Amino acid sequence: MGWHCVFIEKTRLAKVVSATFRNMLMGAYQNKGEPPNCHVYFRQGGGGYYYYFSPAAVNVLGVFMKFWEGYEVSEPTNLGRLEVVI
């Protein structure tokens, strides 16, 4: 599988939803034994919050990502400017 993104639309509760998403993501990652090369990146903008899952993260956290309705995207070209979540 390639890169995927979970988008949380900016609404009145988006900040709280994004914080909940991060906490759940960290819990799922820790429950999987914190596998190497399992990276998730974050950026805010364009009407919401974007979480980019590397192919390894998709393989490890696929069920989590599907629950949050993630979708396939091209590899971000600006990884160095994105916040590393895991």
Q: Which domain holds residue 12?
A: 4-84
Provide the mean pLDDT of the chain.
Answer: 93
At 11 the pLDDT is 85
Predicted TM-score (pTM) of the model is: 0.92
Residues 6+ apart with CB under 8 A from 56: 35, 36, 37, 38, 39
Residue-wise pLDDT tens digits, 11-45: 888 889 999 999 999 999 999 999 999 999 999 98
Structural domain count of the chain:
1
- Evaluate if residue 1 carries a pLDDT over 80: no
